[in-house]
Amino acid sequence: MNFLFLAPEVSVIVLALAVLLLDLVVRNKTALATIALVGLVAPLGFTIAIWNQQGTFQEALAVDPFSVFFKVFFLGIAALGLLSAIEYSDRFPRYRGEFFALILSAVAGMMLLSSATELMTTYISIELMSISFYALAGFLKDQKSTEASMKYLLLGALSSAILLYGMALFYGLTGETTYAALARELGSPVSQDRAVLLLALSLVIAGFGFKVSAVPFQMWTPDVYEGAPTPITALLSVGSKAAAFAAILRFFWIALPDTFPIDWSVLWVALSILTMTFGNIAALVQSNIKRMLAYSSVAQAGYVLLGLAVQTEFGRSAVLFYLLAYAVTNLGAFAAVIAISNRIDSDEITAYNGMAKRAPFLAAALTLCLISLTGLPPAAGFFAKFYLFSAAVQVGLAWVVVIAVINSAVSAYYYLRIVRAMYLLPADQETAVSAAPPTVAAVALASIGVIVMFLLANPLIALSDLASRTLAP
């Protein structure tokens, strides 16, 4: 038993506990974020140490290029999330320790979820991540934040029950919980009760669909994204989604064998079309930038769902690269929104009028991220969509790609509407808008990442391809 395989997750949990304990003795509470940021070096070091190793821990957690890819991914977004949260945490100065500790707890859940190769481990990892976010969503303690937390908790509990029931059906059919054993049993004619399999599969897809904000399971997204603290909205839109997609990829590619009697790719195609179309249409009419980005994240999930329908190694690699590009882009957009909204005390899009004069750097960074989300060069989103759509065309899903391209054109309207407001419309006031150095650093790092991923797309695609090969049947 190699305990080094658990070291990245354990070190993140230890770091969270250390932040809580230091909160009792440290007078300068802002220093807790610095401690959390510096402390991330330890789990990153452990992750690098297992980079070339491959195996399982108690047949429940896998260490392979796929899980290591996501561990580094989650540690990166944790660092950007903590940076952008330092200034924002001034809104609840008494609870900074709990705030940063819960962020780390959620990250530990994400890391475990990317490694989970067993049903119960998958469920526990989801709950560790989700319960942390339930609490974080309500940290502002105002009406919207409390409402966001309650809605997320109640609907999240329902989705967890649905997912667990689907898992229980798979266990009832096979008597196994590990993915490898499930694949072996589900590949035999004895277990192929088609009606029960379809029910189990539908319940699992519904449970995961809630986590990735797929239509029709997205009803929680706009209210939670609007009411939660903006740094948490950013982490929810990126980390929670990416972790759920990692779990989906591992479950569907390892637990469901080639002889599985149901073509699950058709379900992902249907969800993809519904999700991207609904998300983009709903985003068109939003006046609040956080709600707009919430529906935008629904639409972005629709594009990733298209990648899930591509049952090839190319498709899996495209999903990983898309998640990487989307994470950097969306975190950059939210970090800029945090920096601006903290100063103007408004999330209304009209409040961004003339922002190019009041905050030139933040406006430019937000513009770059919005261009990337649209899928235009010179930004990471261009190659992310190109790579994903190419994978779909190769397997005969060109008609779905046409729908996706039309949706991307629609999204340009509401993304560029913000750019128009910042650069072409007059500001209500001329006061300069500045941000705290940590928030500016988060915006700058994300913006650099958006450009670097465009310029160095090939090496990163190769890295995604290497990670995705782990899931080859």
Please determine, for residue 192, whether its predicted confidence score (pLDDT) is greater than 70: no
Strands 61-63 and 55-57, sheet pairing: antiparallel
* Average pLDDT of every residue of the chain: 87
Please tell me which residue, 331 or 90, carries the higher pLDDT value. 331
pLDDT of residue 1: 52
DSSP class of 188: S
Nearest partner of 217 among 262, 264, 158, judged by Cα:
158
Residue 107's pLDDT is 94
> What is the band of 49 on the pLDDT scale with cuts at 50, 70, 90?
confident
Helices (H) and strands (E) in the chain, counts: 21, 2
0.85 cut: is pTM over it? yes
Average pLDDT over residues 279-293: 90
Alpha-carbon span 471 to 151, nearest angstrom: 35
Question: Is the predicted pLDDT of residue 174 greater than 90, yes or no?
Answer: no
Share of the chain above pLDDT 90, in %: 34
- In this structure, what DSSP letter does residue 348 have? B
For the stretch 14-43, pLDDT in tens is: 999 999 998 888 887 778 888 999 999 999
Exposed, middle or buried by CB within 10 Å (0-12, 13-18, 19+), for 396? exposed
- Specify the range with the lowest mean pLDDT, choosing from 181-195, 214-228, 434-448: 181-195
The sign one gets for the Cα dihedral 101, 103, 106, 112 is: negative
pLDDT band of 108, cuts 50, 70, 90: very high
Mean pLDDT over residues 423-436, rounded?
80
The pLDDT value recorded for residue 140 is: 83
pLDDT band at 149 (very low <50, low <70, confident <90, very high): confident
Closest CA to 384 of 403, 360, 408, 367: 408
What is the DSSP track for 408-424?
HHHHHHHHHHHHHHHHH
Query: In this predicted model, what pLDDT tens digit does every residue of 54-100 receive, in sequence order?
Result: 777 777 788 888 889 999 999 999 999 999 888 888 888 788 888 89
CA angle 224-336-350, nearest 5°?
A: 75
CA-nearest of 217, 160, 172 to 199 is: 172
Looking at per-residue pLDDT, the higher value among 147 and 259 belongs to: 147
**Cα(251)–Cα(231) distance, rounded to whole angstroms?**
29
